[in-house]
Amino acid sequence: MRTFCPDLTGSFSTSAAQNPTVAIMEAAFADADLDYRYVNCEVPPENLTDAVRGAVAMGWRGFNCSIPHKVAVIEHLDGLAESAAIIGAVNTVVIDRSNGTPRLTGENTDGQGFVASLRPVRDPQGQHVVILGAGGAARAIAVEVALAGALSITIVNRTPDKGQAVADLIDSRTAAAGRYLPWTPSLHVPHGTGILINATNIGFHPYEDQMPDVDMESVDPGTVVADVVVNPPHTVFLQAAANRGCTTLDGLGMLVNQALINARLWTGRDLSGAVMRRELERIFGL
């Protein structure tokens, strides 16, 4: 039944204005006739504590965390789901009020959403994977791709400690071999790489005219090159990969798949991925 006080969900990030999740969630809620709303919130790091408290105080069902809050939000939570605990990053928070006192649980659906979008293009089983970046999205994708059967995961990052930490996580918690590779200028991608993933913020606003510093001539034609960036979906990185003869995978499939999981966690319902995808295609004129 429609009321004048819908259940609230949303996202905390910086910058929020370029995040289309609000559009697909609202479209799916309406399609399912659910009295829910999704609010996209610009939350700089220094305001995260207040944002979390505000969501609890206003009765929110949960929220997403995007850049730069996926690790920092953990200190504000009461517990972590298994995948989030392994990954060490959270992109979805569920606020459970069933026992009277709100309990905040951190989930991570980034990697699950990515693998679901990757499988129709290339099964990660037996693949050598290179991931650019070592932030929350990179950690999530690395763990889930490893759990899906990848042979090796190479983490490329400019900060050695962060890159090595993700590689060590893969080595110690999964059956895949984890490796750290320093990000040198015009990075040479190792021969035999089957899947190359940009999990950095290069390509997001305000860096949409940039691409990761990679020597595309070193990428084997036929490699699957993926980008987590969703706005714009056809990034400079993916355009360069297509010109090289690679198979490309934009971030829209990952966005839809993780949104479906998020919605199920908040509402207990399975919403329509087709509705979400159509809304993205309408927004971006695809």
In the predicted structure, residue 84 carries a pLDDT above the cut 70: yes
Taking the alpha carbons at both ends of the chain, their separation in whole angstroms is 34
What confidence tens digit (pLDDT) does each residue in 54-83 have? 999 999 999 999 888 998 999 999 999 988
- Evaluate if residue 231 carries a pLDDT over 90: no
pLDDT tens digits along 108-128: 999 999 999 999 999 999 999
Span 240-255, pLDDT tens digits: 999 999 999 999 999 9
Estimate to the nearest angstrom the gap between the alpha carbon of 151 and the chain centroid: 22
Using one digit for the tens of pLDDT, what is the confidence trace for 126-167? 999 999 999 888 999 999 999 999 999 999 999 999 999 999
Q: How far, in Å, are 4, 45, 60, 110 from residue 140 at the CA level?
A: 37, 21, 25, 6
Helix (H) or strand (E) holding 195: strand 195-198
The beta strand positions in 14-91, using DSSP E, are 36-42, 62-65, 79-80
- At 83 the pLDDT is 83
So what's the pLDDT on residue 22? 96
pLDDT digits (tens, 9 = 90+) for 15-55: 888 889 999 999 999 999 999 999 999 999 999 999 999 99
H or E segment to which residue 168 belongs: helix 160-173
Which pLDDT belongs to residue 250?
Answer: 95
Q: Which residue has the tokens 């990075």?
A: 187
**What does the pLDDT read at residue 1?**
60
pTM above 0.75, yes or no: yes
pLDDT band of 286, cuts 50, 70, 90: confident
Query: Cα 120 vs. chain centroid, distance in angstroms?
Result: 18
Q: Quick check: 228 and 79 in contact, CB under 8 A? A: no
251: left (phi over 0), alpha (psi -120 to 50) or beta: alpha
Mean pLDDT score across all residues of the chain: 95
> Coil, strand, or helix at residue 137?
helix
Q: Which domains does the chain have, with CATH numbers?
A: 7-108+253-284 (3.40.50.10860), 111-250 (3.40.50.720)
Res 19: pLDDT: 87
Q: 92, 82, 14: which is closest to 60 by C-alpha?
A: 92
Catalytic residue positions?
70
